[in-house]
Homo-oligomer: A and B are copies of this chain.
Amino acid sequence: MKKITAAIVGAGVMGTATAWPLSDNGHEIRLVGTHLDRDIIQSCKEKNFHPRLKRELPPNVTPYYLEEIETALEGVDFILSGVNSMGAHWIGQTLAPYLKAGDTVIAVTKGLEAEPGGSLLILPEVLRAELPAGLREQVSLAAIGGPCIAGELAGRRQSCVFFGSREIETARWLADIYRTDYYHVQPTSEMVALEVAVALKNAYALGVGLAAGMLKASGGPDTAGAYMHNTAAALFAQGATEIHHILTMLGVDEHFAYGLPGAGDLFVTSRGGRSVTLGQLLGEGKSIQEARAILKGETLEAALVIEQMAVALPKLEARGLLRAQDMPLMHTLIDVVVNAQPLRLDFDAMFSQLG
């Protein structure tokens, strides 16, 4: 394969982890830190070591500070956006001066934005909207979704993901560049289904985490050793079901609800991380204010998605696109996370869709 030069902008764990398959395929990688990544880039420049991934960088990776971005983007074949959902506008604004017609940007960012009418905007489209009007439709945007913990990808563990793009050729081209014997990439044109499913999974991982908090509040496993895995599993199933409702409403491929992006990504996200921790705290009975105080300084992707759904859901229901009974778990999450109400799970309102 022709040697490719890629720029990764955002040197957090997920963006940086994608350097491993690129490097293993013989490609050149320029890793650009944001203003939040100065310590990371300094460590990469001085010691060739990524402090959050706790690994030496693979061969062919050159680190750059943000002020060196012009040099870093010079002549690259594509750009990967590694910023988190807080940076979705920033990355569009930052890349805009350097992009030209025919360029390609792929993002690992997970999130959604609610438009005033309730429509859900995926983050690649948020990025697109920050580009000059004449350029917006001249740039190919793509996104990565699926169950992929960054440290495991950098550890070359078997990982399966989708690359989505409106332009399937873009998804296929990028998949061919990235694919290795441990990074299994399926291209898809279903970028909206992919991005919506992986954004919502953060919210529902918080939902699954509630069970561990409820267990703790009840005094932990009882004398016969009973946990609350049944409860967690019911919340998991309701999460997958509500992702399916949203995908169906959007008229996109609802199969993503139980494949890698929906149930698969929810499975891995439920194993731990900030979304689950926030759920545990709320499940214990702490208020959202108390939980935020404990997790101070952490980016709470789950809360960000739930906040957007708090804007969108009433409007989508008012427009008749969703029924009130379709999304009982999301309504509960909105009540607790956005409206700061005490947790009250109504299991009898769930699962009434089936049967």
Chain A residues in contact with chain B, CB under 8 A? 53-55, 146-149, 151-155, 157-160, 162, 164, 171, 184, 186-190, 214, 222-234, 236-237, 240-241, 244, 253, 255-260, 262-265, 267-268, 270-271, 345, 347-348, 350-355
A350 in complex: contacting residue of B151, B160, B265, CB < 8 Å: B160
A222 to B157, CA, bound (A): 10
Told that A233-B260, A237-B260, A240-B264 touch, could you supply 14 new A-B pairs with CB distance under 8 A? A55-B224, A149-B229, A157-B228, A157-B231, A160-B351, A186-B352, A188-B354, A190-B355, A229-B271, A233-B265, A233-B267, A237-B258, A237-B262, A240-B263
A348 to B264, CA, bound (A): 16
A306 vs B236: C-alpha distance in the bound complex, in angstroms?
Answer: 25
Closest CB-CB distance, A176 to chain B, in whole Å?
13
Q: Which residues of B are found within 8 Å of A244, using beta-carbon distances?
A: 255, 258
Q: Are A151 and B226 in contact (CB under 8 A)?
A: yes
- A to B CB contacts below 8 Å, 10 in the list: A151-B225, A158-B345, A160-B237, A184-B234, A184-B350, A188-B355, A233-B260, A234-B264, A236-B263, A237-B259
User: In the complex, which residue of chain B has the Cβ closest to the Cβ of A162?
Assistant: B355
Are B225's CB and A267's CB within 8 A?
Answer: no
In the complex, how many angstroms separate the beta carbon of A46 from the nearest chain B beta carbon? 19
Interface of A is mostly: mixed
Q: Report A169 CB to chain B, min CB distance, Å.
A: 13
Contact of A253 among B153, B263, B354 (CB under 8 A): B354
**Cβ–Cβ < 8 Å partners of A186 in chain B:** 351-352, 354-355
Q: Report the separation of the CA atoms of residues A7 and B172 in the bound assembly, to the nearest whole angstrom.
A: 59
A18 to B252 Cα, complex, angstroms? 41
- Kindly provide the distance from the CB of A61 to the nearest chain B CB, expressed in whole angstroms: 16
Contacts of A226 in B (CB 8 A): 149, 151-152, 154-155, 157
Partner of A229, one of B147, B171, B188, B214: B147
Q: Do residues B230 and A258 form an inter-chain contact, with CB atoms below 8 A? A: no
Q: Which residues does chain B contribute within 8 Å of A253, judged by CB atoms?
A: 354
Task: State A68–B209 Cα separation when bound (angstroms).
Answer: 46
Q: CA separation between A120 and B71, bound complex, in Å? A: 62
